[in-house]
Amino acid sequence: MASLDRVKVLVLGDSGVGKSSLVHLLCQNQVLGNPSWTVGCSVDVRVQDYKEGTPDEKTYYIELWDVGGSIGSASSVKSTRAVFYNSVNGIILVHDLTNKKSSQNLYRWSLEALNKDSSPTGVIVSNGDYDREQFAENPVPLLLIGTKFDQIPENKRNEVLTRTAFLSEDFNAEEINLDCTNPRYLAAGTSNAVKLSRFFDKVIEKRYFTRDPSQMMAFTDRKRFNFKTLHYD
């Protein structure tokens, strides 16, 4: 096969939320039988047909970088992960729909990746005011994926989905909720599959078709995220 252009997408979230299972499903279209903890980072590749079905269709490689999910604040842990945050074209933020804390921690993950050269100084608290305009200016495309959808009790689903809707607004990102052990959630033609393809096309568009692709990573030099409070119902 001829060499294809490629983009780099980080997959971030706490340990145990199902990142490795998700990446395996996205790249192999198969359920990962025995997922294990990711140490450091693992990389898998997905083929994406950009603008599929149009005269501009072109095939790209999507590199999915599954970063180990230790949220520890030790500077040594963060500095080790920082090497994976270079030249990022997109970010998938993954949380466990049955674990509210994993959703809250996505703010920290995004801060760490987008401000890789500095340590956030803001204090994150609940029931505050969160300025979502900070993410509106973020040129790195984001996608929010909630896992273990099948494990949410029926009487709790409306509450959880309302919470994830607020989360996606905060990140200015589309959301996908699924069960990584069921490929039907990403079957061709489903709304989830459409959102996923749209996200990858956006990543490719930003990388290869903007006037100045280098401006993406210059964002952290132009304006650093510094949350003082955030709204989280």
Domain boundaries, given as residue ranges, for the chain: 6-225
Specify the higher pLDDT residue, 51 or 227. Answer: 51
CA angle 200, 111, 41 (to 5 degrees): 60
Instruction: Give the whole-number percent of the chain exceeding pLDDT 70.
Output: 76
Q: Determine the topology of domain 6-225 in CATH.
A: Rossmann fold (3.40.50)
pTM for this one? 0.83
- pLDDT value of residue 21: 95
Specify the higher pLDDT residue, 37 or 142. Answer: 142
Identify whether the C-beta of residue 124 lies closer than 8 Å to the C-beta of residue 96: no
pLDDT value at 209 more than 60:
yes
Average pLDDT over every residue of 70-75: 59
Spatial separation of the C-alpha atoms in residues 141 and 128, rounded to whole Å: 25
Identify whether the C-beta of residue 11 lies closer than 8 Å to the C-beta of residue 67: yes
- pLDDT value of residue 123: 34
| pLDDT tens digit sequence for 96-133 | 999 999 999 999 999 889 886 554 433 343 333 445 55
Identify whether the C-beta of residue 170 lies closer than 8 Å to the C-beta of residue 130: yes
- Band (218; pLDDT cuts 50, 70, 90): very low
- pLDDT value of residue 129: 42
* Residue with the two structure tokens 């192999």: 28
Which residues 6+ apart lie within 8 Å of 23 measured at CB?
A: 11, 42, 44, 64, 66
| pLDDT tens digit sequence for 193-204 | 999 999 999 999
- pLDDT value of residue 125: 36
Residues counted in the chain: 233
- pLDDT value of residue 75: 59
**Secondary structure of 45-66 as H, E, C letters:** EEEEEECCCCCCCEEEEEEEEE
- pLDDT value of residue 232: 42
Q: Maximum CA pair distance of the chain? A: 52
Mean pLDDT of the chain: 83
- pLDDT value of residue 118: 52
For the chain, strand residue ranges (E) read 6-12, 41-50, 58-67, 90-96, 142-147, 174-177
